[in-house]
Amino acid sequence: MLLAVDVGNTKIKAAVFEDTALVEKFVFNPEEGVFGVEKILKKIPDATQSIMSVVGKEDNELLLWLQQNTKLTAVNHDLVFPFINDYATPATLGIDRMVLAAGAVLKYPARNRLVIDAGTCVTYDFVTNGNHYLGGAISPGLQLRYNAMHNFTAKLPLLYPEMPQNYIGNSTKSAMHSGVVNGLLHEVEGFTQQYNQQYQDVMVILTGGDADFLAKRLKSTIFANSNFLLESLNLLYLYTNQK
């Protein structure tokens, strides 16, 4: 069994897989790194293999612990990925974006794929049906937009994501919710429309912590899967170890 670990900006997400089946998922705070993973392996001791990707702060203690207690695959730019990387600055491409692109290639072969990861930031990553990774876009996530309005103005309150009742906000709070949520929904719809105009048969995958929240209001044909990064880590591990 495989333990997949995603060290994000705000949370550590982990899951145990048996082949391609997700057995159980776990979420904990970065400061719980080793303690959190230790609890998982006490509960599921058969998870003797592991794979870890880091987009947040490097956790050398967790890396060392996994190396000592499991057979670890640490995802970095030197790993073999199932796509041709056409990014102009490949060394700066986030590991999480590379993992998502790999998952899209391995799960949806011979398709044009757009992966939208709605987390702390919203990332858009596009891989052609010929498995060329072209790049995409990065924008602020929902909570970053709320934080920015609060931190860079004198009087706007700090709010948290809430689905607006109407696109016309009739109070400061409802106007902020409309601007943030509807603004991001229109952004996602706009990007999706642009890709569909230029490419045929585009598979759009929405993932990340805010995926389910956004998916309820999106009009486009989008496959929402909040676990896609963890599933992609598992698929990348299987791909790497078949090489």
The DSSP result for the chain, as a single string, is: -EEEEEE-SS-EEEEEEETTEEEEEEEE-GGGHHHHHHHHHHH-TT--EEEEEESSS--HHHHHHHHHHSEEEE--TTS--SSEE--SSGGGS-HHHHHHHHHHHHHSTTSEEEEEEESSEEEEEEE-TT-EEEEEEEEE-HHHHHHHHHHTSSSPPP------S-SS-SSHHHHHHIIIIIHHHHHHHHHHHHHHHHSSSEEEEEESTTHHHHHTT--S--EE-TTHHHHHHHHHHHHHHH-
> Token match 């692109």: residue?
101
Gyration radius from the chain CA atoms: 19
First to last CA, the chain: 19
Mind telling me the catalytic residues?
96
Q: How far apart are CA 192 and CA 184, in angstroms?
A: 12
